[in-house]
Structure 1
C-alpha cells in the first residue's frame, strides 16, 4: 500500500467541496460561498481583537442581563437612591450658603464678592493649611501667594495663542520648559510644552505617539503597554484616541511592574511603553532602566510618568537619597510628564510634558491648514491658554530657584522616611513596597483597612483610598514638614489602630463599607454608573423656589 500523500489530501478536500455543490443552482453556490467567506472573516475578527474573548463575552453578558426588566428596575432604583444621597451630601457640605440660580439683577461690588469668596473657602471640613490632607495642596507660603497673586493679576488676560501680542508670556513658557528639561537631565534636543495638569500631559504624550506610529510605522490599531498602577489618565487617553491598553500586573510584594509580563504584552501594534516614577497608589517606582531597555530592543518609545514625583523625584538623588535612574539620563526614555503644580509649588493648572526629541513633540501639535479662518496651529489641547498660570508658574520657579527646591526636597523626603519608619513599627498594619519619595501606602492583613481610613477621617485627616487590594495612602507634602504635623499624624494613627484592634473582625460601616463592596461587584459598569451619579452631584443645584 502506498503512503497517503498531500496530493491525496487535496483531492479529498476538492471532492468534498464538489459533492457539497452538486445539483445546486448558481445563486445557491454564490450564497454559500459568500456566507462562508463572511463568516470566516467575522470569526477571525472576533478572536483577533485587543480584548480577550472572555472579557468581551463577560461585558456582553452583563449588558444583556441589565436589560431584563426586573434587573433594570433594581438598578434604576439603586441609581436613584445613590443620586439622592450624593446630592444630599453635596448640599450638606455647602452648609448654609445660598445658591445663585440666576445672574444677580445688579452686579456685586468688590467687598461683597470677596466676602462671598471667603465664605465659600471656609466650608471645608479639612484643615489643609495645617497639613491634615494627603497631597492636594503641596505647599503654601503667604509670601509666595502674595507674589503669585500679583503676577497672575498682571498676566490674567494674556493668551499665548497670540504670540505676536504676548511674546513675553511665550518666552516664560519656553523658559519653564527649558528649566524643567535641565532638572530631568535633558540635552539640547529635549523640548516640551506646558499643560493644564498631569492628565493633559499624559494625554498629549499618547496622542503624539499614536500619530508618530501611524506616520512612521503604519500602525492603525495602536496599543500601549501600561502597568496597572499607572495613572488613570492613560485610560482617559485610550478612550479619547482609540488606543487599546495592554495592562500589566505588578509584583504584589514590590508593587513594581512585572517586567517579564511587560515584555510578553508587547506586539507589532505597540506604540508606547509606560513606567511610573513614582506611581500614585503606592509611591513605588518602576524599573525605568529595564523598561527603557525593552523600548530600545523593540524600537518603541518609553514614557515616564513623574507627575506625582515632580521636582522632588528630580532632586531626590542630589538631596542625598538613593533612587533608581528614571529620567533622560536613561537611554531609551523618550518623554516625561511632571506636575509643576505639585512639588513645583506653582498654583493649580500647570504641568509639563517633556520629550527627548522634537520629532515626538511635532506629533503632539494639532495643525489645521484649510480652515477659512486661516492656518491654525495649537501646541496643546486648549486653543486659548491662561497666560496668567504660565506667568505664575514661571514666577514660582524663579522665586524658589534650584537651592529652594533642593531644600524642600530634603524636608519632604526626610519627613516621608520618618513617617514610613514609624508606620512599620506599628503592629497589624504594613507598608506596600518601598516608597521612592513621598507617598506611603498602608494595608492590613488583620482588619479592614477602610476602618482605619474612617477613624482617621473622624480625627480630621483626609487620606487617599486604594483598591485591588484595599489600602490607603498618605502623600507627604511641604505642609507635613511643619513642626509637629508628622507626629500628630503618627499619634492619631497609633491610637486608631489600637482602638480597631479591640475588635479587629468588626466590619467597616458607612461610606467606606460602600467602597469595599464596590470592589466585589463583577460588572464594573455598575460601579461606573454610580461614579457618574457622584460626578453629576457636583453640579447639582436645588430647584428654584
Structure 2
C-alpha cells in the first residue's frame, strides 16, 4: 500500500512540475470562488431580465470573499452609528430632560400646539404618511380622534374589564378578513387573526407563527425564509429577532418576485416564502398564485404583505381594474398582513395579521405558567395595548363602509393614472414596471434622479428614495387627489433644473433652490435622528 502511494505521489509531482507554483496556488482559489458564485451565475444565465441585480450580487459576493472587506464594511457601518451618537448634543440643546418643578397643568396644551407648529406642512406633499383626506380639524380626523379619546383609558389585555374593546377588535379582524377571502370558499378552516400596532408587528407575528408552526409540523429547528429583494425590511427585523436565516432573491425584469429563483433556495429548513401586494418600492403585485403553488408543492408557509394594498386591491377589483389574485382565495396563502392605518383610513398604529386557520394562529400566542404571577397569555408583541386605537380603527371602518372605500379607491386610482401618464411625458424620466396600484416609482438614464429628489424636497415634496435601480417613488393617498397638476409641474421643472446645471447639486441643494425650502435641511434631519437615538437609549 505504501509503495502504491509513493508511486502515485511521484506521478503527481511529475505531472504538476510543468505548471507555475503561482498557478497551482490560484487554481483551487478560483475553483472555490466559482463554486461560491455558481448559484448567482446560474440565476444570471437563466434569468436575463434581472441581469443588473444578479451582476450586482456577483460583484458584492466577490468583494466579500477578499480578506478584510467584510470587516471593512462592518467598520464603516459602525462609524455611521458612532458619528450619530458622538454628535448627540447638537440635537438636544432645548429638549426637556428633567421633570418641571411645578406641573404645567392644562397649560401644556399651548406647548403642544407650539411644538406641532414646527412640524412639516405635510398636506398633499408627502409620499404616503397621511392617508386620510381633508383637514385635521374636521371630518374623518375628528371622528377618529373622538373615538380614541372615548377609549383612551382602556387596555385589551384586560378583556374582562373592557369587553367593548374585545368586540371592536374581533369585528375589525372579521371585517378585514371578509374583504380578503373569507367570503369565498377557502380551504383549511376559518380565517382568524389579531390587531397589531402596525405592519412591522403584523409581519413579525406572522413570521413567528410560521416558524413555530413549521417546527411543530415538520420538525424544523434551523429555520430559513426566502423573500424577494423588493420585500419590506420588516422581514430583516423579524429574521434578526427570531434567529431565522434570511435569503433575499433578486426580482425579475418586471420587478416582481422571481418564483423560479425563489424555488432554488428552498431546502429542508425552509419555513416560508413571501410575496407582496403590492411591493413597497414599485407598487407592483407579486405573482401570488405562482408563489402559492410553490408553497403547496413544498408544504411550507406563504405570507402575503398586503399592508399597502389590503384596503385598495379588493375595491379596485370591484371597480373593474385588472387586479391579479392576492388573498386567501389563493390556496397556498397561510397568512396576510394588512394595515388599517393606511388606506383603511384608521388611526396610526393599527394593523391586522390574519391566518388561514386557528392551527397556524395558535403559534402566535405566548403562554407563561411558571412565574409567580399566575397564568399569562398574550397574542401580540405588546402586553398592554391602547384600546383607543382599536376603537379608532373600528370607528373608521364602520363610518367609511364599503361604498366609502370604493369611492376613495376610485379617486386615488384615477390620480395614480394621471401621474403615471404625466411622468412618462417628462423627457428624461421613465416609470419602473407597470404599477398595479397607487405607488409609482420612476427613474432616469439622463439625470441623477437623487438630485431631482433634492430639488423636489426644496419645494416641499417628500418622496422616497430607492435603489437597485436608483429611483424615487410617490405613494398616493387621498391627500394627493387635488395636487396632481402641481406635482407634475414641479417635477418637470426640477428635472430641467438638474439637466441644465447638474454640478450645482453635487452635495445637496444649490443656494438658489435651498433658499425657499419648506422642509428641514439635511443637518436638521440628522440632528433629529441623533436626538431620537439618544433619547431612547
Please give the range of the TM-score, normalised by the shorter of the 2 chains.
Answer: 0.7 to 0.9
Deviation per CA, 1:96-130, whole angstroms, max 9, x where unpaired? x94212111111122x2111111111112x3212x
Which one is further off, 497-506 or 419-428?
497-506
Matched, 1:136 2:129: yes
Q: Identify the residue that residue 99 of structure 1 maps to in structure 2.
A: 95
Distance 1:80 1:276, change over 3 A: closer
Distance 1:424 1:292, change over 3 A: same
Deviation at 1:291, TM superposition (A): 0.5
Distance 1:66 1:480, change over 3 A: closer
Q: Identify the residue that residue 127 of structure 1 maps to in structure 2.
A: 121
Distance 1:369 1:76, change over 3 A: closer
Deviation at 1:15, TM superposition (A): 10
Q: Distance in 1 between matches of 2:527 and 2:62?
A: 25
* Aligned partner of residue 205 in structure 2, secondary structure: helix
State the number of aligned residues: 465
Distance 1:226 1:341, change over 3 A: same
Q: Is the 8 A contact 1:134 1:462 kept in 2?
A: yes
* Aligned partner of residue 353 in structure 1, secondary structure: strand
Q: Identify the residue that residue 152 of structure 1 maps to in structure 2.
A: 148
Deviation per CA, 1:120-174, whole angstroms, max 9, x where unpaired? 11112x3212x01110111144222222222111111111111111111011000
Q: Identify the residue that residue 179 of structure 1 maps to in structure 2.
A: 175
Q: Distance in 2 between matches of 1:449 and 1:86?
A: 31
Distance 1:361 1:77, change over 3 A: closer
Deviation at 1:75, TM superposition (A): 8.9
Q: Identify the residue that residue 215 of structure 1 maps to in structure 2.
A: 216
Q: Identify the residue that residue 166 of structure 2 maps to in structure 1.
A: 170
Q: Is the 8 A contact 1:450 1:508 kept in 2?
A: no
Q: Identify the residue that residue 296 of structure 2 maps to in structure 1.
A: 296
Equivalence map 1:350-361=2 (5 Å): 350-361=350-361
Deviation at 1:503, TM superposition (A): 3.8
Q: Is the 8 A contact 2:132 2:141 kept in 1?
A: no
Q: Distance in 2 between matches of 1:87 and 1:471?
A: 34
Q: Distance in 2 between matches of 1:227 and 1:511?
A: 34
Q: Identify the residue that residue 538 of structure 1 maps to in structure 2.
A: 532
Deviation at 1:222, TM superposition (A): 0.6
Matched, 1:480 2:473: no
Deviation at 1:510, TM superposition (A): 2.4
Distance 1:169 1:465, change over 3 A: same
Equivalence map 1:146-545=2 (5 Å): 146-186=142-182, 189-251=190-252, 253-482=253-482, 485-503=483-501, 508-510=506-508, 535-540=529-534
Deviation at 1:499, TM superposition (A): 1.8
Q: Distance in 2 between matches of 1:56 and 1:182?
A: 49
Deviation at 1:468, TM superposition (A): 2.3
Distance 1:463 1:317, change over 3 A: same
Q: Is the 8 A contact 1:449 1:472 kept in 2?
A: yes
Deviation at 1:80, TM superposition (A): 5.9
Q: Distance in 1 between matches of 2:247 and 2:447?
A: 33
Q: Is the 8 A contact 1:448 1:508 kept in 2?
A: no
* Aligned partner of residue 128 in structure 1, secondary structure: coil
Q: Identify the residue that residue 111 of structure 2 maps to in structure 1.
A: 116
Deviation at 1:537, TM superposition (A): 3.3
Structure 2, unmatched stretches of 5+, are 6-35, 41-57, 184-188, 511-524
Deviation at 1:426, TM superposition (A): 1.2
Q: Distance in 2 between matches of 1:62 and 1:533?
A: 30
Structure having the higher Rg: 1
Q: Distance in 1 between matches of 2:379 and 2:139?
A: 33
Structure 1, unmatched stretches of 5+, are 1-11, 17-46, 92-96, 513-530
Distance 1:208 1:447, change over 3 A: same
Q: TM-score, normalised by structure 1?
A: 0.79
Q: Distance in 1 between matches of 2:368 and 2:534?
A: 37
Q: Is the 8 A contact 2:88 2:534 kept in 1?
A: no
Q: Distance in 1 between matches of 2:73 and 2:139?
A: 56
Q: Identify the residue that residue 186 of structure 2 maps to in structure 1.
A: none
Distance 1:354 1:79, change over 3 A: closer
Deviation at 1:367, TM superposition (A): 1.0
Deviation per CA, 1:395-415, whole angstroms, max 9, x where unpaired? 111110111111101101111
Q: Is the 8 A contact 2:443 2:471 kept in 1?
A: yes
Distance 1:511 1:63, change over 3 A: farther
Q: Identify the residue that residue 51 of structure 2 maps to in structure 1.
A: none
* Aligned partner of residue 161 in structure 2, secondary structure: coil
* Aligned partner of residue 407 in structure 2, secondary structure: helix
